[in-house]
Amino acid sequence: MTILLIDSGIANIHSAAKALELWGAEVKITDRWQDFSQAQAVLLPGVGAFDPAMQALKQKDLLHPLQDWVAQGKPLLGICLGMQLLFDRSAEGTEPGLGIIPGEIHRLPSIPPMPLPHMGWNQLEIHTNHYLWQNLPPLPWVYFVHSYYAEPADRSTISATVNYGGFHPAVAVVKDNVMGLQFHPEKSAASGLQILKNFVQSLSISPKEVSYV
């Protein structure tokens, strides 16, 4: 199977590519919408700020191809800033988001002594029985670097949260064929590799067999 890894110029994509290849995926790094026809899934990574990321996608004519991909029911995984881009808008900027998952991005509250940005290891609080979480230990440790969090309009799309000084923001969302992870699975040791393995293996299963709950 082929996974397109979107190179918008706003992410370190090579560690994610290597992690996916570890589980047998053929990864094609691209910024061309013409390559979408070759893939079974798309991964949208991102670091940095919301507006420059959206502007980069717009300049590369990737906005409508990403939206069309999702409308066709095909798998899309957003990571870190890539998850935030899936939403309607962000308090970090003025550019509209992709609008694939209804909701907004807000700045994390200041909760002393918690660090801001939220940087380092924290434990996932998993709320749904989604295939991404198969074979993980309870409260798995994953790696974060972010100052903003997603607030979906439909809270049933929240698949995992984290305890940030008593505040529990969404750090994983699922809406049908679309998934978003606020943390970096490619930097999250064994748990992160298992999540990416689950994602790759799901691509060889028919849509009727895949649980999107």
Which amino acids are annotated catalytic? Answer: 80, 184, 186
Please give the DSSP secondary-structure letter assigned to residue 25.
P
- Residue 99's φ and ψ, nearest 5 degrees, are 70, 25
The structure tokens listed for 157 are 């799309």
Residue for token digits 């801001």? 116
| Closest among 165, 141, 176, 149 to 70, alpha carbons compared | 176
AA identity, residue 156? S
CA distances, 3 to each of 40, 45, 202 (Å): 6, 13, 12
User: Tokens 């996916």, residue?
Assistant: 20
Whether the bond into 96 is cis, omega within 30 of 0 = no
Q: What's the rounded Cα separation, in Å, for the pair 6 and 66?
A: 10
Token pair recorded at residue 82? 């890539």
User: Cα-Cα-Cα-Cα dihedral of 187, 169, 116, 195, to 10°?
Assistant: 0
